[in-house]
Amino acid sequence: MARDLLQPESAHENRAHTQAHESQRELLQARLKTARRPDTRCVARYTNLSNLPADPKFDHHLDDRQIEQAIAYNNRSWQGEFASQIKRLFNSDNVKGEFTAADVIKIANLQGLAGLAADGKLGDRTMAVLTHTAPPGRARPVTLTTAENLKPTDVTLEFYPGELEDLKAWNLRQRAFGKNQSLSELEKDHLLPTGSGRIYVRVHGHIVAAMEARGGPSVSFKDSGGHAATPTAPGEFHLGKQESHTTASWSTSQISWGRRTRLRSDSEWEFEETPGLWTIATGPHARVKIPMEKLAFEKNRQHHQELQSKREGMVEDGRRVPNAPFLASEPAQSWPWLLNDFGESAWNLTAPQGRTALYLHTTPFAEQAAMLGKDLVLTSSHGCIHIQPSQRDDMMRKGYIQPGVKFVVHRYEQHLLPAPIIDALHK
């Protein structure tokens, strides 16, 4: 009897709780839609250390013992051309010799500006700052280079997916829209948080460079086509071979980047699978796993026309036009494929047990922007790691991206950059 009397009250409470939850979600959605920012399609700005507020309570003074320890540490850690480049950065009077007390004091002052412990030692966190932010008197972050012909075992790439991501903002989106909300729809409505991760490059164990990168969202969402956008899984991997990746999991990725496409006399589209061998991709006689939409090929042709027009405008304005070997000239009878979701090149993150579903790659729209000499804001992935085409090419030239290189993915809550740098970039 008592149970029967309590049951209506319990059901009422459940309904009230559900209604309150839905009301809270609607309020969150309204707040996010009101506060949404338009997609500026430009790269994240760098922070100059000179613009960071100095902590008046912070004492950058080092005693003689601390200076001696820092000198010994830096001389032991940094030698040869890397050491010379660092000393030039600090306007050292002893570029080719050992680190001096004056060098250590300059390093400590920079550490204090960045919110690090000012010990004068060029460790991982200090190098993370130098490779991400513009030091006083410098326009861009630091990248150390070497003339050495690097082997894969000389290099390690470490990905910090949450380095500059606003993790609280991602959690708020999931609370507001739910896990079943399409990530693509949120992106189309400019409701996704801005941010990125960082890939730090280690050579012989020391951080010498960094590049912008973006993994999956820090919380999971479903997406169209039966896909899911999930956090990039942590772990240790190695880069597989450089490849033009194709997969039937994504319709437009069934064709390799740059393959020629053309319109047939029967109004269907085909692509050149190998030199001289054309494969029908649309219509009832399509010979791809998932027949493709004609609209995708029409968009691809339109992209070529728009890119060519913009590049001609750049020439007229006297601006430098980047090399674009995959761009069709007008009038054209065939148009290279520019819509593969993995971009021109991809590297599988291979685990000890074999290949995984994770790839290091660009995106088609980032590749197209690079043909105009621009970098786009990196979009979050479905779990892979997105990078800029310009940085990919630069890191390949330096030998930092090559098959066999160790690739470590950290957890989203792990950071190398100090809080003042991260806070400045989120303002």
Q: Are 206 and 125 contained in the same domain?
A: no
Q: Are 331 and 350 contained in the same domain?
A: no
- Please indicate whether residue 191 or residue 228 has the higher confidence score (pLDDT): 228
Q: Report the DSSP pairing between strands 221-222 and 206-214.
A: unpaired
CATH value at residue 200:
2.40.440.10
Q: What is the CA radius of gyration of the chain?
A: 26
Least confident of 35-44, 102-111, 160-169, 205-214: 35-44
Decide if 134 contacts 48 (C-beta within 8 A): yes
370 domain residue, yes or no: yes
Residue where one domain finishes, among candidates 130, 161, 180: 130
Quote the domain boundaries for residue 258: 251-336
85 domain residue, yes or no: yes
Q: Please report which confidence band the pLDDT of residue 404 belongs to, taking 50, 70 and 90 as the band edges.
A: very high
Q: Please report which confidence band the pLDDT of residue 425 belongs to, taking 50, 70 and 90 as the band edges.
A: low
Residue 96, pLDDT score? 83
Decide if 307 contacts 368 (C-beta within 8 A): yes
pLDDT at 200 over 50: yes
The pair phi, psi for residue 240, each rounded to 5°, is -80, -170
pLDDT at 48 over 60: no
Structural domains in the chain (count): 3
34 domain residue, yes or no: no
Least confident of 76-80, 221-225, 255-259, 281-285: 221-225
pLDDT digits (tens, 9 = 90+) for 129-186: 999 876 666 667 889 999 889 999 999 999 999 999 999 989 988 888 888 878 888 7
Residue 323 makes CB contacts below 8 A (sequence gap 6+) with none
Q: Are 157 and 237 contained in the same domain?
A: yes
The pair phi, psi for residue 14, each rounded to 5°, is -65, -45
* 221-225, Cβ contacts within 8 angstroms, sequence gap of 24 or more: 221/174, 221/179, 221/180, 221/181, 221/182, 221/183, 221/186, 222/179, 222/180, 222/181, 222/182, 222/183, 223/182, 223/183, 223/184, 223/382, 224/182, 224/184, 224/185, 225/250, 225/251
Residue 150, pLDDT score? 96
Residue 330, pLDDT score? 66
241 domain residue, yes or no: yes
Q: Are 191 and 67 contained in the same domain?
A: no
6 domain residue, yes or no: no
pLDDT mean over 260-267: 96
**pTM of the predicted model as reported, rounded to 2 decimal places:** 0.86
Q: Which residues are registered as beta bridge partners of 45?
A: none
pLDDT digits (tens, 9 = 90+) for 373-382: 998 889 999 9
pLDDT at 107 over 50: yes
The residue type found at 155 is V
pLDDT at 1 over 70: no
Decide if 111 contacts 105 (C-beta within 8 A): no
Q: Are 408 and 352 contained in the same domain?
A: yes
Residue where one domain finishes, among candidates 313, 336, 359: 336
pLDDT digits (tens, 9 = 90+) for 238-252: 999 999 999 999 999
Q: Are 164 and 233 contained in the same domain?
A: yes
145 domain residue, yes or no: no
The residue type found at 393 is D
DSSP state, residue 53: P
Tell me the average pLDDT of the chain.
85
Residue where one domain finishes, among candidates 303, 319, 336: 336
C-alpha span between 109 and 117 (Å, rounded): 10
pLDDT mean over 400-419: 96
Decide if 301 contacts 262 (C-beta within 8 A): no
pLDDT at 18 over 60: no
199 domain residue, yes or no: yes
Residue 261, pLDDT score? 97
Two tokens, residue 396: 């390949």
